[in-house]
Amino acid sequence: MKTKIKTIFLYGLILIIINFFASINIVLADSQSEQIKKLEESEREAQRIVINRPSLDYKSNNLADPFRLKRKGVVEETTGAETTVLPLPSLIIQGIVWGGGKPQAIINNKILQIGDVIENAHIVDINKSGVDIIFNGQQHNLPAPAKK
């Protein structure tokens, strides 16, 4: 008889413990759902905020307009209120040596390397595909002789 009472008591105690933890989980779930609702409401309010920014007009003061597209191979030079178009100078590549420590190119019968200037064009890179130059602020690629 005592073992039956002990068993019933243990089962009852286990049920009480399970109910206790279940009620704790319900309370925690309720508080978590309340927190989630508060976050969702704050997100909805944040989406309603409208930011008014002033509109700005670009004034270049006779400088190049960085928002205007430039045509490839043609550079525009501004002088006062006038704009003159400068074509890319005639640069003919006769050969390229690019595999060593000092890449070189033969352009218009002159041996040049990175950093040299020819016809107001600065050489910035020499590689197997050609020579990269900067002419009047624009970068151009002159293809290797075999690539033409």
Which is nearest to 78 in space by CA: 67, 88, 87, 86? Answer: 86
Here the contacts of 92-96 (C-beta below 8 Å, separation 24 or greater) are 93/130, 93/131, 93/142, 93/143, 93/144, 93/145, 94/145, 95/145, 96/126, 96/128, 96/130, 96/131, 96/144, 96/145
Taking alpha carbons only, the member of 124, 62, 118 closest to residue 88 is: 118
DSSP 130: E
Written as tens digits, the pLDDT of the chain (148 aa) is: 678 787 888 888 888 888 777 777 666 666 777 778 888 887 776 666 666 777 766 666 777 666 665 555 555 555 555 556 678 899 999 999 987 789 999 999 999 999 999 998 999 999 988 999 999 888 899 998 875 4
Task: Tell me the CATH number for domain 88-147.
Answer: 2.30.30.830
Residue boundaries of the structural domains of the chain: 1-52, 88-147
